[in-house]
Amino acid sequence: MSPGFDEFEFRKGFSEWTTQQIAASNGESTTYVIEVDDRPAGRLRVVRTREQIELAGIQLSPGYHSRRIGTRIITDLLTEATDAGLAMTLSVEKDNPRAQALYVRLGFVVMGETDKEFVMGRQRPARPQRSGR
């Protein structure tokens, strides 16, 4: 952790932000509790529009890392996007190489960036071409 990092304040702010996200749902954004064996394991936020599905946030508690839970959730969202003919996007912190590697492995490419994050996406699947016969 960086010097001066206040974990209590971070967690408090994150909790307040999550509560605001749930309360301000506009019908496009959905926040889920990720459960494993009927126990809370993390949170997931997905924004669905006519143009795309955005993985707006996925966090797993440390005890649930490296168990392919995130991979399964993301592949399910990719399947949903493919079936609907939609692009899928996400943002990932630049200081999170493990998540970046996961997203690249799942077919995402960097499409842009901010000071702190890479914006990644997988384009809308191509429509099959009809044969002229």
Grouped pLDDT means (10 residues each) for the chain, 133 residues = 66 62 64 92 94 94 92 96 94 94 95 96 68 56
pTM: 0.75
> Which CATH superfamily does the domain covering 28-122 fall into?
Gcn5-related N-acetyltransferase (GNAT) (3.40.630.30)
Contact 10, 16 (CB under 8 A): no
Question: Beta strand pairing status for 52-60 and 39-48?
Answer: antiparallel
The phi, psi pair for 131, rounded to 5°, reads: -80, 150
Strands (E), the chain: 29-36, 39-48, 52-60, 87-93, 109-113, 117-122
